[in-house]
Amino acid sequence: MGRDYYIFSNGRIKRKDNTIYFIDENDNKKGIPIEGIERLHLFGEIDFNTKFINYISKFSILISIYNYYGFYSGTYYSKKKNVSGIVIVNQAKAYLDDNVRLQIAKSFIDSAFHNMLRNLRRHENVPKDIIDQIIDERENMNNSKCITELMGAEGRGRKKYYETFNYFLKEDFSFKSRQKRPPIDPINALISFGNSIMYTTVLGEIYKTQLDPTISYLHEPSTKRFSLSLDIAEIFKPLIVDTVIFTLINKNMITKKDFIIEEGLCYLNENGKKKFIREFENKLNTTIKHRALNRKVSYRYLIKLECYKLIKAIIGEEEYKAIKVWW
C-alpha cells in the first residue's frame, strides 16, 4: 500500500529522467519517492509542468492542492483503471430512487450520530441533557421523509455536539460555535483543516474502487466537487478528525503558537499543520480487530471497506448499513 506525501514549502517540482525532485525557494533539492506514493498533498505555492503530470499519471497518484490557509482547493487524478459501467449506472439509479437515496443518506448520518455520541460518552462531565438532545435529533433524522428534513436534524444535532467541546477540552482552547467561512478560532481552524484532509483521504479510497465520486446521496451532486467523498466523510469525521483534535489539545501536542490569526481568520501555521497530519496519519494507521473479517484492519482500510459496502448495496446484493464503532 502506498503512502501519503506532503509538501509544505514553496518551490517547484521537476522531473529529470525517471526521478522527481522538489526544489525549495533556497534551491535545496529533495527526491520524491514516486514509486511508494499513492497521494501527494501540496500546501505551498508550487510550480510543476505537464512532464511531471504525465509521469505520475503512470502511477495513478492523486494530487490534492490546498490554498495558503490550508483549505482544500481541488484534486487531480489520472484516468481511473478500476472502472465498471454497471456500478456507475446503478449508482445513478440509486440516487434517482428517492427511497433508496434517503435510506443510504440516513445510514451515513445515523453512523455519524452514533460515533459522535461514542465520543461524548467517554467524558463524564458532558451534561446528560445535551446528550439527550443529540439523541432526539438522531431520532428526528431517522424519521425524516426527505433529504432536507434529514439535513436539518443532522445540522441541529451536530451544533449540540460542538457545544459540548468546552466541557472536556483544555480551557485555553475555548470554543463558542462552529464557524466555517472563515474559521475564527483555533478549534474551528482545526476542524476545518481536519475535515479537508478527511475529504481527500476518502476520495483517495473511492478512487481505488469503481464508484464515481461525483454521484452522492446525502449531499446534492453538483459540478466541481466530489460529493460522495463528503457523504462518506460524515461517518469518519467524529471517528478520526475529532479524536485527533481531542488528543492534540488535551495532551499539549499543539499550542496557540501553532496558529495564525489575522483579519478575523484563524488558521494553522506550517508547524501546526505538520503536527496535525502526523497525528492524523497515526490514527489512520491504527488497527482494530474487525468483527466480521476476524482480523486486524487499519482505520484507513475501514474507509475502503465502506466504499465496497456501498457498491454491494447499489448493485442490490445487500442493504447499506454504515459502520458504527463497537470498539
The domain spans of the chain are 3-76, 85-314
CATH of domain 85-314: 1.20.120.920
pLDDT of residue 1: 60
Nearest to residue 160, comparing CAs of 194, 119, 105? Answer: 119
pLDDT of residue 292: 86
Question: Nearest 5 degrees, angle CA 51-CA 53-CA 57?
Answer: 120
Q: How far apart are CA 19 and CA 46, in angstroms?
A: 17
- What is the amino acid identity at position 225? R
pLDDT tens figures, 255-301: 999 999 988 889 999 999 999 999 999 999 999 999 888 899 999 99
Handedness of CA 278, 237, 121, 293 (dihedral sign): negative
H or E segment to which residue 324 belongs: none
| The CA-based dihedral angle spanning residues 311, 317, 322, 324, taken in that order and rounded to the nearest 10 degrees | -130
Whether cis (ω within 30° of 0) applies to the bond prior to 182 is yes
* Cβ–Cβ < 8 Å for 117, 132: no
Q: What is the pTM of this model?
A: 0.92
Find all residues with CB under 8 Å of 313, minimum gap 6, and list them: 94, 104, 319, 320
CATH 3.20.20.140 matches 3-76: no
Nearest to residue 302, comparing CAs of 255, 245, 239, 242? Answer: 239
Each as own residue / partner, the long-range contacts of residues 263-268 (CB below 8 Å, 24 or more positions apart, any chain) are 264/182, 264/184, 265/69, 265/182, 265/183, 265/184, 266/182, 266/183, 266/184, 266/185, 266/186, 266/188, 266/189, 267/69, 267/70, 267/71, 267/183, 267/189, 267/193, 268/70, 268/189, 268/190, 268/193
Stretches where the chain sits below pLDDT 70 are 1
3-class DSSP assignment, residue 279: helix
